[in-house]
Amino acid sequence: MPKIIVTKAFKFAHFGYQVEDFEVSHEPRETTQEVVDVLKDEGFFDVVNEVPPAPALAPEPALAPAPAPDAKAAAAPEPTPALAPVPPPSEKAKG
């Protein structure tokens, strides 16, 4: 529900028959959206723009620092082992 601060006393008929008195006050008071929509430009009140508080976020767990790279590993990557050559098929295997 919207909140307003009444700056000039007025009466409002909700649904056309439920009359409510609004007295001047410096404290915000809740009202219906109907009151705000119908009388917002008449100067009877100021709409209080309340921003709901943001939900508290859980603190993120502290991350461990990344391990320092080994100086030897960082200097040169290890060579890929060479594959042994495969001999061609022998004449005996055709036979």
Query: Rounded mean pLDDT of 6-19?
Result: 91
* pLDDT in the model for residue 15: 84
What is the three-class DSSP state of 14? strand
Q: Which of 7-16, 17-26, 40-49, 53-62 has the lowest mean pLDDT?
A: 53-62
Are 5 and 48 in contact by the 8 Å Cβ rule? The answer is: yes
Q: Does the pLDDT value for residue 39 go beyond 80?
A: yes
Q: Which residues pair with 18 in a beta bridge?
A: 14
- Residue 66 pLDDT class (50, 70, 90 cuts): confident
Mean per-residue pLDDT, 51-78: 67
Residue 6: closest CA among 32, 36, 28, 37: 28
